[in-house]
Amino acid sequence: MLDDGLAKASRPDQPADASEDVTSEHLGLGSEATLEALPATEPFRSLLQWLGRVEQAAGAFLLVVILVLVLTQVAQRYLPGGGWAWTGEVARFAMVWATFIMAGYLMANDRHIAIKVVDYFLPVRALGAVKLLGHALIAVTCIVLVYATYDFMTHDRGQVTAAAEIPLAVIYAVVAFGFASTALRAVITIFVLDLREIRAGEKGVA
């Protein structure tokens, strides 16, 4: 159940029970209320909450790594010895890793960049169907990309990056994790939120 002090959902026509027992609500950027898609049953709910915290921590750590390495690159311009070539390479990979590691968490919290148009004039049931279709396409696409990334990993011949000599299998593994996490969150969102909106529309909730 949601805490009594939490705000209502951002959509004014959201069904009253759409977040009951299955989602956790919190204030996001700009004090906009968001719903995190979480299953109602344990231990899956706690596991996904734990996974979200790990993803946030990893994303924050990688941002710090990028900052430190970029500042190091700037300092190297004024130091003798030519500096370390691997700093720029690791900073670029850290940006890629942060993107994929946070992709699933952002999906669960509806925080990916999007242009919302139909949200403001479609009825609840139709909007739920549109969201369900979109999340289904995201899930299928991510599953295909997980398979493609896994294929890259299985055909890896021990290649490493040019400067830092990071195994390419490690880079592919982070990408595969991001796609898998996004696919999982998309499927959960379908069952936790989208189907509820469709059922609410069938009952005449506007």
Question: How is 118-161 classified by DSSP, letter by letter?
Answer: GGGTS-HHHHHHHHHHHHHHHHHHHHHHHHHHHHHHHT--S-B-
Mean pLDDT, rounded, for 102-110: 93
- 194 in any annotated domain: yes
Which tens digits make up the pLDDT trace of 142-158?
999 999 999 999 988 88
In a domain, 4, yes or no: no
Judge whether 48 lies within some domain.
Answer: yes
The boundaries of the domain holding residue 29 are 23-202
Residue 169 lies in a domain: yes
DSSP-based helix, strand, coil % in the chain, nearest 5: 60, 5, 30
In a domain, residue 53? The reply is yes
Q: DSSP class of residue 194? A: I
Whether 172 is in a domain gets the answer yes
Q: Residue 33 contacts by C-beta under 8 Å, 6 or more apart in sequence?
A: 6, 7, 8, 9, 10, 25, 26, 27
Note whether residue 122 is domain-resident.
yes
Question: Number of folded domains in the chain?
Answer: 1
At 18, the amino acid letter reads A
- For Cα atoms 113, 28, 48, give the angle at the middle one, nearest 5 degrees: 85
Band (199; pLDDT cuts 50, 70, 90): confident
CB 106 within 8 Å of CB 36: no
Does 2 map to a domain? Answer: no
As separate numbers, helices (DSSP H) first and strands (DSSP E) second, the chain gives 5, 2
Is the pLDDT reported for residue 202 higher than 50?
yes
> Of 94, 47, 98, 41, which is closest to residue 66 (Cα–Cα)?
94
- Does residue 3 register a pLDDT over 70? no
pTM reported for the whole predicted model: 0.78
pLDDT-derived band of residue 42, with 50, 70 and 90 as boundaries?
Answer: confident
